[in-house]
Structures are given as C-alpha cells and as structure tokens.
Amino acid sequence: MGQGDIRIGIVGAGQSVRKRHLPGLRNLAGVRITGVCNRHRESASRVAREFDIPRIYSDWEELISDHEIDAVLIGAWPYLHCPVTLAALDAGKHVLTQARMAMNARESQRMLDKAKEHPSLTAMIVPTPFGLSGESHLRSLIADGFLGDLRELRVDSFSGDLAAPESPMTWRQMTRYSGFNMLTLGVVYEAVLRWAPPADRVMAYASKQVERRLDPELGKVARVGTPDSIQVLTTQEGGSVGVYRLSGLTRHERKMTVTLVGSDGTLVYDLLRDEIRGARSTEHELRPLPIPPDIRGRWRVEEDFVAAIRGERPVTHTDFATGARYMQFTEAVARSSRHQVPVRLPLQEFSNPSL
C-alpha cells in the first residue's frame, strides 16, 4: 500500500455512499479515497468534486485494474455486486460491498467461494443498521436465560413506501437490478440471525398488490418486478417456529419489530426506536429493558473495514458467510412463493437463479 495508506476506489457513489461511507472513510487516518466511477461520468464528476477525489474512471473494470487501488467499496445496486467482487478479489483488492449481498443465492455463493480463495483479503458486507445499538444487550439477556428455550419468532416490517400506486418504480422493484431481494426481507433476517437460530424451512406467499407502475428508465408503465407484500412461515434449527410479515403498503403503521417468545420469557426489539422490552413468565406485562450505555452498539462500518484490512480484528458485521445465508433465505422465500411449496434450508442447488 502506498506509503502505508489504504487507497480506496468507489464503484457506485449513491446516497448511502455519499452520506455515510465517504465521510466515515475520510475521517480515518491513513485512508485515501483515490478514485470513483458511477453509472454516468457526470455524476462521478460531481462526487469527485464534492469529496476531492482525484481520479474518475470510465467503468468499474478500469478501476479494478488500477494498481494504485488497494480496496474497493461497491455502492452500486445488487446486479453489480457479484461481478465487481469477483474481479476485485482476483485483482488482490479488499472488498466492502453494500447490503443485499447479491442478486440471488448462486451469486452470493460464488462471492463466498472467491473470498475463501483469497483468505488474506478482507471481504465484508455493509451490515443492516437495524439492531446494532441493542445487539449485545439482547444477546446477553438471552445468554442469561431470560427467554429459556425459544418457542416462537415473530418479525413485522411495515411501511407505506409503496402504498401510492402512482409512485414510480425504483431499482428495488426492478428485478434486473435487484434480483430476488424484496422489501426489507434480507436486512431483517440478517438482524434476526444475531439472536435466533437460522431457518431450516420456509413456506411463503409474496404478492404484488400494485402490479404495474411507471418505469422511469423505460418511460412507460410496466410490470413491477418484486413483491410489495410478503408472508412467511418458518421453522428454525432447534424446533422453534416463526412468522414474518412484511409490507410496503401500510400507510398508518410503520414498524419493524422482532419478537422472541421463549419458555421462560418474552423479548421484543423495536428496531426503529431502538427499544427493547421484555417480561419473564411470572410477569403480566412487558417492561422496558434499557440498553446499558457501556454495551450500546453503534455504526462503525468504515473503521471495522479498515481495521480488518490492517489485521487488527476480524470481520463480524457482516462477513460473506452471513450474507450468503440471508441470500439463501431470500431465495427460498421467492421459490416457495412461486411454486407454493415449502423449501428447506440450506439450499442444495443454485442451478436456476431466474426461476
């Protein structure tokens, strides 16, 4: 690395990259943002001017081939996560990619396999920010026996983002860019994995209540690619059962909660408010369980990535194995909904990514 600095190139400088990652990286000593490429050169130029980035690339292949780049931040939409990651790792560059690891389970497995081929390189996914504050507190409550044996898992994620039929499609509803990713399914499942066993079986129903919207790229009304309403029944390793309810159509009840029901108690994490409530089996009402300041988590994605590159600590939020697991869950939900059959996890084959 040039004079001890870590030189980072940006592939896709969207809102999250500009608001979070670039400021976070610029605040770290020994880190230089040396180049950027975007879908359009004009937008890359604007980002370069705003953040004093010295080089603009015509395409991501040119950035990857630059020997003056040590690490790549992939801020593009999911359709580019796999090809850019594979090329970057083969070029000897560390990788931090945005969440929604890939388009489908097969791509995520290819990314995981490639990372295993290059164990000296850091391969990291931007974690879901939901639940970071109370992650350690909830884990300690579970470890201390507050729940007892997990019996039921309930996950609700409601918003009104897709309630208006006249609102145009974004990339999240375009399968050519998003693949099997739908609503907040992957990010809430990633959060759940911090406290509950992984699912081993899913039965799902996903629907598009608003079937057609304006596609701004095509300039006309077209079929929506991804669901706006999802219901999933699960079983988890260890025998517990679960239900996931997700909707982008709920105007008046925006929420994101994880409820864990055990033999000895109940825990509820309100992920939007960062509030945990709970009750033992002998108590009649849930009560607040404040997050102790000394174990309250925070956003530290950029510093964690740089620390992993420097060998100071391993990746925990989020490694490629976890990303592959939530992509398998996402694809299992899509398959189950499409064919109306239960799907077991982990998936045994990835031969048909488009279903």
Q: Which fold has domain 135-298+328-344?
A: Dihydrodipicolinate Reductase; domain 2 (3.30.360)
Given a cut of 70, the residues of the chain with pLDDT beneath it are: 1-3, 351-355
Residue 154 parent element (H or E): strand 150-158
CB 165 within 8 A of CB 298: no
Specify the amino acid at residue 232. V
pLDDT of residue 293: 97
Dist CA 320 CA 302 (whole Å)? 16
Residue pLDDT, tens place only, 243-257: 999 999 999 999 999
Dist CA 12 CA 1 (whole Å)? 23
| Residue 331 token pair | 């694809």
Dist CA 243 CA 265 (whole Å)? 18
Does the domain spanning 2-129+300-317 belong to CATH 3.40.50.720? yes
CB 95 within 8 A of CB 102: no
CB 134 within 8 A of CB 267: no
The domain segmentation of the chain, as residue ranges, is: 2-129+300-317, 135-298+328-344
The length of the chain is 355
The DSSP string of 175-211 is: HHHHTT--TTHHHHHHHHTTTSPPEEEEEEEEE-SS-
Chain position carrying tokens 């996903």: 206
Q: Is 27 exposed, middle or buried (0-12, 13-18, 19+ CB in 10 A)?
A: exposed
Residue pLDDT, tens place only, 99-136: 999 999 999 999 999 999 999 999 999 999 999 999 99
Q: Do strands 55-56 and 255-262 pair parallel, antiparallel, or not at all (unpaired)? A: unpaired
The residues, any chain, with a CB within 8 Å of residue 237's CB and separated by 6 or more, are 197, 198, 199, 200
- Which strands, in side-by-side order, build the sheet including 6-11? 55-56, 31-37, 6-11, 71-74, 94-97, 123-125
Dist CA 51 CA 18 (whole Å)? 9
Q: Determine if the pTM surpasses 0.85.
A: yes
Dist CA 278 CA 268 (whole Å)? 6
pLDDT of residue 63: 97
